[in-house]
Amino acid sequence: MQIESEKDGEGPKGSDIARKLPWQDPRVLFRYKLRRLADKMVVAVTILAVVVVLYPLLDILFMFFYRGALAISIPRLTGLTLQFGLANAIVGTLLLVSLSTIIAVPLGVLGGIYLAEFSAQDQMSKTFAGTVRFLSDVLSGMPSILLGYVGFLILVIDFGWGLSPLAGGLILSILMLPYVIKTTELSIRKVPLKLREAATALGATKTQMVNRMTFPLALPGILTGIILSMSISIGETAPLLFTAGFSNYYPCGLTNCQVGFLTYIIYTFAKIPTTDSLSLAYLSAFLLISFSLVLNMTARIGLRRLSKI
């Protein structure tokens, strides 16, 4: 029965089979050519997209490296902003980034260790860890200007720290925190279960296992995360305007002393159309791009290696 019904179904198509083979049919050939053409056009469009996207990057890099290199001079690199030099801003940026790193690293690394090692023990720690992960995602998506306002109201005004390196550094460290937490957790989770089991079998306590085995093994990944977060904090401007202020002189203390930084120079001097101001802005853009690209790309290469293992 079945065989017969199949034959019935084939019946009407019999005449089609007698026709030319598909690749001899001009309509099929035409459609094939069209499809090939569409394919080539899409390839052309994607190449165009790449060119359009890379053009601004190359323009930015060339322009700032060229004009920045032209602006390099000893007085500009060693003088104070007062005499159109960048020395105080370079020192200030380094101070702010080091302060924020010193605050963010212990907090972020310990937080990451908690999420990776202690969060799966009971239901309550699972919920808590989920909340921490969620809020740290929220924190990394939060516009930094909001933290600047909060820092201004709380640290600068209420705590009485004034516009200062400490206020700026603390706000930057909060911005860095989610990145450090996340990369720490991920790197620790990468440590193979076999090694953990071996450590436990040898009688190691949890603390010994984490401190002597997991943490050292995860260290390269953790360092990568720290470098990435530093590259983010070095390029920040908005929150620092309201927490660090600006000064034409070298930093003079941790609180109640405004501090200069490179991004401020770009933000302010870019709008002043005199040669001196613009040269200074070009030079700081040059320095800033160099610093942050080196840090950022190092971290990204490291992260990619990390995700592959």
Partner 1 sequence: MVKRYGDTVYKSLTLIVAASSILFIISAVAVLLFNAYPSIISNGLGFFTSANWNPSLSGTVETVNGIHRLTGSSFGILVFIADTLASSAIAILLAVPAGLGVAIFLTEVAPRRIAAPISFMVEMLAGIPSVVYGFWGLIVLGPYLFNTVEPYLAEHLSFIPIFSGPISSPGLLSAGIILAIMIIPIVASISRDMMARTPKESREGAKALGLTRWEVTRRIVLPYAKTGIVGSIVLGLGRALGETMAVAMLAGSGVQVLPKSLYYPFSTIASYMVLNLDAALTDPSGMYLSAIMELGLVLLAITVTVNVAARLLIKQGFASSSENVVRV
Residues 132-191 that bind partner 1 (CB under 8 A): 132, 134-139, 141-150, 152-154, 174, 177-179, 181-183, 186, 189
Residue in 6, 10, 30, 48 binding partner 1, rule: CB under 8 A: 48
Pick out residues in 264-283 that bind partner 1 (CB under 8 A).
266-267, 270-271, 281
Using the rule CB under 8 A, is 238 a contact of partner 1?
Answer: yes
In terms of CB distance, is 82 or 294 closer to partner 1? Answer: 294
Using the rule CB under 8 A, is 60 a contact of partner 1?
Answer: yes
Residue in 43, 120, 198, 272 binding partner 1, rule: CB under 8 A: 43
Residue 169 to residue 93: CA distance in whole angstroms:
10
Using the rule CB under 8 A, is 230 a contact of partner 1?
Answer: no
- Specify the 3-state DSSP secondary structure of 92: helix
Pull the structure tokens for residue 112: 């990451």
Angle subtended by helix axes 165-190 and 275-308, to nearest 10: 20
Smallest gap from Cβ 159 to partner 1, in A, equals 12
- Specify the 3-state DSSP secondary structure of 252: coil
Smallest gap from Cβ 260 to partner 1, in A, equals 14
Smallest gap from Cβ 108 to partner 1, in A, equals 8
Nearest 5°: phi and psi at 254? -85, -30
Q: Which amino acid is at 73?
A: S
Residue in 235, 250, 255, 256 binding partner 1, rule: CB under 8 A: 235
In terms of CB distance, is 6 or 47 closer to partner 1? Answer: 47
Pull the structure tokens for residue 48: 């165009």
Write the secondary structure of 126-169 as one string of H (helix), E (strand) and C (coil): HHHHHHHHHHHHHHHHCCHHHHHHHHHHHHHHHCCCCCCHHHHH
Q: Where are the alpha helices (H) located in 163-274, listed in sequence order?
A: 165-190, 193-201, 206-209, 215-234, 238-243, 262-269
Residue 277 to residue 267: CA distance in whole angstroms:
11
Residue in 234, 244, 257, 259 binding partner 1, rule: CB under 8 A: 234
Q: Which stretch binds partner 1 (CB under 8 A): 38-46, 76-84, 94-102, 244-252?
A: 38-46
In terms of CB distance, is 88 or 284 closer to partner 1? Answer: 284
Using the rule CB under 8 A, is 217 a contact of partner 1?
Answer: no
164 DSSP assignment:
-
Q: How many CB atoms lie within 10 A of CB 93?
A: 28
180 DSSP assignment:
H
In terms of CB distance, is 71 or 129 closer to partner 1? Answer: 129
Q: For tokens 């853009």, name the residue.
A: 285
Q: Which stretch binds partner 1 (CB under 8 A): 69-77, 78-86, 235-243, 250-258?
A: 235-243
Residue in 28, 47, 120, 195 binding partner 1, rule: CB under 8 A: 47
Residue 253 to residue 286: CA distance in whole angstroms:
28
Using the rule CB under 8 A, is 222 a contact of partner 1?
Answer: no
- CA-derived radius of gyration, the chain: 30
Pick out residues in 89-128 that bind partner 1 (CB under 8 A).
106-107, 110-111, 113-115, 117-118, 125, 128
Residue in 28, 29, 54, 120 binding partner 1, rule: CB under 8 A: 54
Q: How many CB atoms lie within 10 A of CB 186?
A: 19
Pull the structure tokens for residue 285: 């853009």
Residue in 1, 3, 18, 53 binding partner 1, rule: CB under 8 A: 53
Smallest gap from Cβ 248 to partner 1, in A, equals 18
